[in-house]
Structure 1
Amino acid sequence: MANSGYYIGLMSGTSMDGIDAALVEISDHGTTRLVQAISHPWPSSLESRLRDQVARKSCTLHEYGELDHLCGQQFALAVLALLKASDMDSDNIQAIGSHGQTLYHHPYPPSPFTLQIGDPSIIAERTGITVVADFRRRDMAAGGQGAPLVPAFHQAIFQHPAKNRVILNIGGIANITLLPASGKAVQGFDTGPGNCLMDLWCTRNTGLPYDEDGDWASRGNPHAGLLQKMLRDDYFQLPPPKSTGTEYFNMQWLEERLEAFPGIPAVDVQATLLAFTASTIEQALRRWAPSTGEILVCGGGIHNLTLLDRLRKLLSPMQVMATDDVDNGMNPDWIEAAAFAWLARQTLAGLPGNLPPVTGASHPVVLGGIYPASGRVS
């Protein structure tokens, strides 16, 4: 296969804890090696504006355009910082795959849409590297939900000929990829909140952006009534393919459920939210992947030791480990960014990047738009 070489993937997820930038080398046979990765912080003022827009679910055209421009600048700076850290020249990079920053994801009829910002023209102009962006909308045009898209990468990197595996990504939203050992189709979907509700509650009550190691949650006791009320949400009854985001699971959603249980100590709410994330993941796996042997975890949630401990207890005898604990694995912090580098290569090679059984699309499609390194016409 052509288009081997070095690629950069850019990812900023629903947690908005920074721009992940990963430099990967992809061989002619598709072998993917992580070369270097960094997390580029959002300027605090821009991060606040982004969080505000997502929470309000609306913005003016002027605000949208300005945020699109500013995010494009930050994605470009992330690339330049990555190149410096890896001592790599831009001429050596085949392309950048930029997911963009999601402001809103609404994959439901009659007018499904998804909105990611971070002007790819600015990224291409500032870096001198071809950019592939706007990955999700082509899948939606083909009847899919535009998410999750990373399972195709999971399949290419982690599928094992003799083991039933699941890749569990715990970001702001948690999602799973079912990788059967046999020739059965790969499946994947969003299980529900990952870190997003825990982070929001922690910020409100402690002033910290997240609960480090899950330590605060470990000191509380889950509230059974609140947990059951959250688990009864309609989303968890839907069959896959399905996807969701923080436009649905947010502080307003949590406050509406807390109204029925006044006076719960804040630390117990945090413990309940952790139990909620673990329970929704467990229920999804028990229902849709009961024969799984290995669960490979990636994303920011890998650092929540209390959450991982709870998952191991709930999911036994399934093995819960990190994505770099297996042969030919990869650092769990950079899986999603590396995936968009891989997806950029798929696009340049004219190959599909979606998995219809995962997204619900009617057929495989080549994803994204290509923004060449040079916009000049000779």
Structure 2
Amino acid sequence: MPDLYIGLMSGTSLDGVDGVLVDFSASTPVVVQYACAPFPAKLRAELLALNTPGANELHRAALAGNGLMRAYAQVVTALVAGAGVAAASVRAIGAHGQTVRHRPQEFDGTGYTLQLCQPALLAELTGIAVVADFRSRDVAAGGQGAPLAPFFHQSWFGRPGETVGVLNIGGISNITLLRANGEMLGFDCGPGNSLMDSWCALHTGKPYDSEGAWAASGKVLPPLLENLMAEPYFSKPPPKSTGRDLFSQAWLQAHLSAFADAAPVDVQATLTELTARACSADVLRYQPDLRRLIVCGGGALNTHLMRRLADLLPHAQVASSADWSLPPLQVEATAFAWLARKTVLGEKLELQSTTGAKGARVLGCIYPA
């Protein structure tokens, strides 16, 4: 009998919603259907604006959350229609929501992480139970609230007796190290696609640098790269997580102030190199003997970035998650379907090695259909 869950993910890249319908009835889960939808331009602009303080934020955030749920519901409709299944046969939807602030352990020692999500509305729109708010319990338990995908990475990509790295390059990049001895380490490396995408949009009008071709046509600016790599976050030990709160356009512009004459294409080349260097440096720092690195997220589709990762990690096989039966744009959504199932089953996750939380916790809240 099928054991169906839906996972929905909209990441810091703000390029839209990825959704999967997953059957967990067999020992190896199967992605039955995939669907995606770009954000309407107005919603995307508002979600981006809400990453920084502004007027009337509470009102705007509530309405943006409603709009986000309508976009989520459209993807859910496409998933069940495409798979030819009834909504009632899906046990739950795992909805990550849209991160607009991420400040764990700051201010009062606990801090917060904020994902715009209206799970009650999503349950009403779809007629399916919704699991949401995955990160808050982790933050309450003293953790970073992110990354959470490493637990799924361990389930899907882990191999007994083999050390495997999983690098997700979305708007922010995060690394999971699945060690041969069973230990796991996971944390955010730093910027992924977010700075590259916004710079590309500003100077070319395109939402992203397809295959990294624009960056590949420029040259890296070593003084600018050194300036960017001097950011203290990069040398901070894990557990650690980050987001647009730090790696924003304001952060970039502050570093570019001394490089006003730089050609935009060379800045793009340097931003791509920044992502490659930050990720590879973490691999070399925490698993220098790594032989296999699986890359997922939109960054796995950036040919130039993948080539630079391979150059910087010559002893590792750098390959797309597609080679492991899960296309790059489906990994994060599948992770939240997997997490939703854990919540429904009441299963705790051992969080210490990734988020630094005090112990095992059940993550997420359930909104019945």
TM-score tier, shorter chain, comes to over 0.9
Contact 1:354 1:367 in 2 (8 A): no
Q: What is the letter of the counterpart of residue 160 of structure 1? A: R
Cα deviation, residue 315, structure 1: 0.4
Which of 44, 50, 53 in structure 2 is aligned with 1:53? 50
1:17-61: CA deviation from partner (whole Å, max 9, x where unpaired):
0111111111264x2111111112211111111112224467522
What residue is the counterpart of 1:316 in the other structure? 314
* Alignment gaps of 5+ in structure 1: 374-378
Task: Flag the 1:59–1:37 CA change in 2: closer, same or farther, 3 A.
Answer: farther
The aligned residue for residue 70 of structure 2 is 73
Following the alignment from structure 1 to structure 2, what is the Cα–Cα distance between the partners of residues 281 and 46? 30
- The match for 2:117 is 118
| 1:42 aligned residue | 39
**C-alpha contact 1:294 1:320 (8 A) present in aligned 2:** yes
Change (3 A) 1:152 1:58: farther
Match of 1:376 in 2: none
When the two structures are aligned, how many residues end up with a matched partner?
367
Partner of 1:88: 85
The CA distance in 2 between the partners of 1:262 and 1:103, in whole Å, is 29
Aligned to 1:140: 139
Question: Which segment drifts farther, 336-345 or 58-67?
Answer: 58-67
Partner in structure 2 of residue 303 of structure 1: 301
User: Is the contact between residue 105 and residue 142 of structure 2 (CA under 8 Å) also seen in structure 1?
Assistant: no
| Partner-residue secondary structure (3-state), 2:7 | strand
Following superposition, the deviation at residue 123 of structure 1 comes to 0.9
- Distance in 2 between the 1:202 and 1:119 partners? 31
How far apart, in 1, do the equivalents of 2:213 and 2:348 lie?
Answer: 42
TM-aligned CA distance change 1:248 to 1:289, over 3 Å: same
Secondary structure of 1:245 counterpart: coil
2:57 and 2:171 mapped to 1: Cα distance?
Answer: 25
List, as ranges, runs of 4+ consecutive aligned residues in structure 1 with deviation greater than 4 Å.
55-59
- Write out aligned runs for 1:10-49 (5 A): 10-27=8-25, 29=27, 31-49=28-46
Deviations 1:181-234 (A, max 9, x none): 123x21100000010100111011111110001010011000000000100100
**Comparing 70-79 with 267-276, which one deviates more in the overlay?**
70-79
Q: Which amino acid aligns with 2:244?
A: T
CA displacement, residues 158-178 of structure 1 (integer Å, 9 cap, x when unaligned): 111132100000000000000
Contact 1:151 1:355 in 2 (8 A): no
Q: Name the CA distance, whole Å, in 2 between partners of 1:159 and 1:57.
A: 43
1:357 partner SS: coil
d(CA) in 2 for partners of 1:311 and 1:11? 25
- Residue 7 of structure 1 aligns with which residue? 5
Match of residue 179 from structure 1 = 178
- For residues 100-127 of structure 1, the C-alpha deviation after alignment (integer angstroms, 9 at most, x for no partner) is 0111111133241011112000111111
Residues 34 and 21 (structure 1), Cα distance of their counterparts in 2 relative to 1, 3 Å cut:
same
Instruction: Report the secondary structure of 1:275's partner residue.
Output: helix
Contact 1:121 1:371 in 2 (8 A): yes
The residue that corresponds to 1:239 in the other structure is 237
CA distance in 1, matches of 2:55, 2:146: 22
Aligned partners of 1:132 and 1:371 also within 8 Å: yes
- Equivalent residues in 2 for 1:337-352, closer than 5 Å: 337-352=333-348
- Amino acid across the alignment from 1:214: G
Q: Is 2:150 the counterpart of 1:154?
A: no
* CA–CA distance in structure 2, aligned partners of residues 28 and 261 of structure 1: 55
The yes-or-no answer on 1:192 pairing with 2:190 is yes
C-alpha RMSD of the superposition: 1.4
State percent identity of aligned pairs.
Answer: 46
Q: What TM-score, normalized to structure 1?
A: 0.94
> For each residue in 1:136-171, what CA deviation from the matched residue of structure 2 results, as whole angstroms up to 9, or x when unmatched?
000111100000000000011111113210000000
Q: Deviations over 1:53-89 (max 9, x none)?
A: 2244675221122112221222122211211122221
Q: Contact 2:280–2:313 (CA<8 Å) still a contact in 1?
A: yes
CA contact (8 A) 1:53 1:59 kept: no
Q: What's the TM-score once normalised by structure 2's chain length?
A: 0.96
